[in-house]
Structure 1
């Protein structure tokens, strides 16, 4: 009865997919915390020098305002597993790396932040490579299966 009808491939997530989703959501939580930190800094809730927007030097005002908006935006994209989430995270990470590595005289030197972003980026690349390898293997298996079906039929 269903012979001759086109079939749809069904995607069944496996352990790699779940791990990648958990990784992205963990990064999303960290981005949200960083965004909250920048908002706390902007509204002046935290006591201390340079922790109120009107008392910050202009370079901190620009960086804090941009990152206060971008980090929660990246968190939303990462949590939803949207394709643009990692791109916005990369903008945030690049901004902070440029701040702390490129201009330590203005923003301070935070090598832990730089190393942590490098580790997260390396893990992301490893996940994407593993997903790509799995996809190629599945495509090759489907091609072999189709070729053997054609030879038999």
Structure 2
């Protein structure tokens, strides 16, 4: 075989060989979105641990005068206890990057948004808080869709 023929065969073999670029490999892209999803869930977990612990601080009177929680309405007390439990349960599930953690987190966020919209005196429902929670939900849904689509 001539030298030119050998060179052409080498070029053709190189064109048929799989690319080593990450963008050309769908498995790497799928792993990338799974990695992003895992770390997004872990960051959410840290935020929701703080949110759950702040609810426990209200119950225990750490940030409020002693007896302040007990003197509030039964609806307020029930709501704070609900979020003290569901936020920490959701945080554990998010940290584990499990499906039930995402579902519990969505339940906690949507509960907060609904209560903030209809009962603003019970939970903090400023426009910035609601916009922040809605943004987190949108990002969670987008990243989870990309991770599921990629593999």
Cα 1:108/1:118, change in 2 over 3 Å? closer
| Aligned residues of 1:67 and 1:92 also touching (Cα < 8 A) | yes
Instruction: Determine which structure has more spread, i.e. the larger CA radius of gyration.
Output: 2
Q: Among 58, 65, 77, which residue is 2:93 paired with?
A: 77
Contact 2:113 2:125 in 1 (8 A): no
Matched residues in 2 for 1:107 and 1:83: separation?
A: 27
TM-score with structure 2 setting the length = 0.73
TM-score where L is the length of structure 1: 0.72
Gaps of 5+ in 2: 1-26
Structure with the larger RCO, 1 or 2 (CA within 8 Å, 6+ apart): 2
Residue 132 of structure 1: how far off its partner (Å): 3.0
Q: Number of residues paired by the alignment?
A: 124
- Give ranges in structure 1 of 5+ residues lacking alignment: 1-10, 136-153
Q: Partner residue of 1:22?
A: 39
Query: 2: distance between equivalents of 1:64 and 1:45?
Result: 14
1:57 aligns with 2:73: yes
1:115 CA drift (Å):
1.0
CA RMSD of aligned residues (A): 2.2
Greater mean deviation of Cα atoms: 52-61 or 32-41: 52-61
Q: CA 1:103–1:48 in structure 2 vs 1: closer, same or farther (change >3 Å)?
A: same
Of 128, 131, 140, which residue of structure 1 is paired with 2:147? 131
Alignment partner of 2:87: what SS?
helix
- 1:1-153 counterparts in 2 under 5 A? 14-48=31-65, 52-107=68-123, 109-135=125-151
CA deviations 1:108-133 (Å, max 9, x no partner) are 64112211111111111111221233
2:11 corresponds in structure 1 to: none
